[in-house]
Structure 1
Amino acid sequence: MSLLSGLSGCANQSAFAEGESGSRRELATSSDQTEAQRRASIRLQLAVGYFGQGQLEVALDEIKQAVAANPELADAYSVRGLIYMDMDENRLADDNFQRALRLSPGNPDFSNNYGWFLCQSGRPKESIVHFEAALKSRAYQSPAKALANAGVCSLKFNDTVAAERYLLQAFQFDASNPLTNASLAKLAYDRNDLERARFYIGLVLKADAPNAEALWEAIKVERKLGDTAAETSLVTQLRRRFAGSPEFAAYQRGAFDE
């Protein structure tokens, strides 16, 4: 799941600049940046671009130059945390996420990203407080993302009540999010609420090309519902597109209830 959700702009510099008289303050704009801050911003944007292309070492080098130009650039540390997360450098990722939050306390994007990192690195219970912090921020523009993440991470420590609450709220904000819908489908399937499971996994299948996990979940739903034609069609897709996947291997050995 991509977490690069936009940079926080002026989070690392004063939000206001003095007016001409020096007696009042105005909203800061790019013209208020120093030359060093502008260089850092350019390097950061380059790093984001390289990160999006999967060129992690080049992205890290650009981040290094951004931080050299502006050591207070909180966005740089958050992006570096995401890069290290992709590289499975968990200690370095943790250090950078925490540095970003120290420089920009309460930044909702940073809180969400750090929460997702904690969840993915085996600390899902610790992640929830960070998703909640993001959701409490009036400045947060992506509540569906933090809600979906909180739902998925609640499932990791078997709090299905909280997971369903978060996921249903996420669905209200964004009914097309595949992560939300796949997670709601799994919850429904585990309760044997098969029609509801079919509804949610169907939304995933109607979106962009579904992954092997979504196809496998849909196969299990249709098998339990007894729709042989639908199951066969889904199995054909899974075999054609993901023949080497763990999901197709599970289908081959009949592991429908694992």
Structure 2
Amino acid sequence: MTRFSAGVATILSLAVLLAGCAGSQGGNSTGSTTGNPNTTTTVQSRTGAQSSEYKPIEPIVTGAARTRAKSHTELGMAYLEAGNVAIALEEGRTALRDDSSYGPAYNLMGLAHMYLGEKQQARDNFERALRLASSDPDINNNYGWFLCQNGDTARAMQLFNEAIRNPLYASPTRPYTNAGLCALQGNDLQTAEVNFLLAINADPGNTQAIYNLAALLYRKGSYLEARKQLSNFHAQRDSVAESLWLAVRIERKLGDKVSEAGFASQLRRRFAGTPEHQQLMQGNYD
């Protein structure tokens, strides 16, 4: 990820990833996407490797077993959002003991292993989740983010597009945001900007997308638009060191010395010792 977006880009990472994991189950069809990763063109035919952690003989699943698996998965997601990864993993394992064919439970396991830095286990579980629920938008979004963080940008963008294409997905702002962040990693500013705008259009309160759009516009030299987006960010949430430092630099470019001094004062007072404060003290504005 580029330097200008590295700070606030991760502030809401859990919110971007963890949403409705135990929601509607996708179908059993498989598919893989092909074509330009920066478009929404997809072709059905995805395959995936089985999880190395779970390879049971598929049981006959009763309605009660599926209900228990769903409940344990939802509880595990709540623990994961609270930062309790160990209990989240145990809830995922319990869910899979109840129903080893429940895709969202593998999604939970994939996320938990991802946060622990256990890449192969995360990949295996995401692949199994995708095999079982190939149209589930949360699985596509979450696995896409994992792939983006591990160098497979092309497939990541395809999975984000797959999530976005689902007309029943209530949170398309998440894959749009992740697609923007992923495009930034490849220095594709145009694709990043389009996706951040779409994320904000889908959810005007998505402050992660708003901040990153402001930072991108600053980088492009669109200082008035960057100021507008950053003002929107500050109107919706408390400022952070990264956002104040960006504000200082925007106002400096626009020649507004009073506003520049005001943001610089806040940065010195509230976030002394941060890398952004150190940059300010050293005069490293670019």
**For each residue in 1:155-195, what CA deviation from the matched residue of structure 2 results, as whole angstroms up to 9, or x when unmatched?**
11011122222222222222231122112212211121111
C-alpha distance in 2 between matches for 1:13 and 1:169: 27
Partner of 2:188: 159
Paired amino acid for 2:192: A
Conserved 8 A contact 1:12-1:72? no
C-alpha distance in 1 between matches for 2:82 and 2:235: 26
Partner of 1:237: 266
**Identity score, percent:** 37
Which range moves more in the overlay, 71-80 or 2-11?
2-11
Is the counterpart of residue 4 in structure 1 residue 18 in structure 2? yes
Q: Find the residue that maps to 1:219 and give its secondary structure.
A: helix
Match of residue 101, structure 1, among 117, 130, 148: 130
Conserved 8 A contact 1:205-1:215? no
- Taking structure 2 as the reference length, the TM-score comes to 0.77
C-alpha distance in 1 between matches for 2:27 and 2:159: 23
Conserved 8 A contact 1:125-1:157? no
1:69-80 map, 5 Å: 69-80=98-109
C-alpha distance in 2 between matches for 1:237 and 1:177: 24
1:52-91 map, 5 Å: 52-91=81-120
Paired amino acid for 2:165: K
Paired amino acid for 2:126: F
Q: Find the residue that maps to 2:20 and give its secondary structure.
A: coil
**For each residue in 1:132-176, what CA deviation from the matched residue of structure 2 results, as whole angstroms up to 9, or x when unmatched?**
111222222222221122122111101112222222222222223
Structure with the greater relative contact order (CA < 8 A, sep ≥ 6): 1 or 2?
Answer: 2
Match of residue 174, structure 1, among 203, 212, 221: 203
**For each residue in 1:38-92, what CA deviation from the matched residue of structure 2 results, as whole angstroms up to 9, or x when unmatched?**
3323322321221122111111112111111111111111111111222222222
**Structure 1 unmatched ranges of 5 or more:** 15-31
Q: Which has the larger radius of gyration?
A: 1
Following TM superposition, where does structure 1 have runs of at least 4 consecutive aligned residues deviating by more than 4 angstroms?
none
C-alpha distance in 2 between matches for 1:33 and 1:65: 16
Paired amino acid for 2:23: G
Conserved 8 A contact 2:21-2:77? no
Is the counterpart of residue 122 in structure 1 residue 151 in structure 2? yes
Label 1:240 to 1:77 Cα distance change in 2 as closer, same or farther (>3 A).
Answer: farther
Paired amino acid for 2:170: Q
C-alpha distance in 2 between matches for 1:202 and 1:6: 30
**Structure 2 unmatched ranges of 5 or more:** 1-12, 29-60
Partner of 1:254: 283
Partner of 1:208: 237
Please, what is the CA RMSD of the aligned residues?
Answer: 2.2
Q: Find the residue that maps to 2:139 and give its secondary structure.
A: helix
